[in-house]
Amino acid sequence: GQLITLTAQSNDQPTALGIGLQRPNGTLVAAGTAERIDSAVVQRIQLDQTVRYRVVVFDTNSSGLNYTLQVRSESGGELVSGRMV
């Protein structure tokens, strides 16, 4: 499978930020949270299926936030929104 890196970083003041990757059936491939001081989450994930995954970014305080999301392929190839990998 393809190896990707997901990075989510809060554009607001430090907050509790989380990121997850879901398969089409809703099960999680991986999930993680960041400490308030960091406000950034980095996950290296091995994709185990050729399907369309969903990236979920969440604020564990449920207060809403602005964030930047970056998805990078570590094993070569191009990642395109809406295409299967």
Q: What percent of the chain has pLDDT over 70?
A: 72
- Model pTM? 0.72
> In which band, very low, low, confident or very high, does the pLDDT at 26 lie, cut at 50, 70 and 90?
very high
Tell me which long-range contacts 71-80 makes (C-beta under 8 A, separation of at least 24): 71/4, 71/5, 71/6, 71/7, 72/4, 72/5, 72/7, 73/2, 73/3, 73/4, 74/3, 74/4, 74/5, 74/44, 75/2, 75/3, 75/4, 77/2, 79/4
pLDDT digit string, tens, across residues 51-73: 889 998 887 666 667 888 888 88
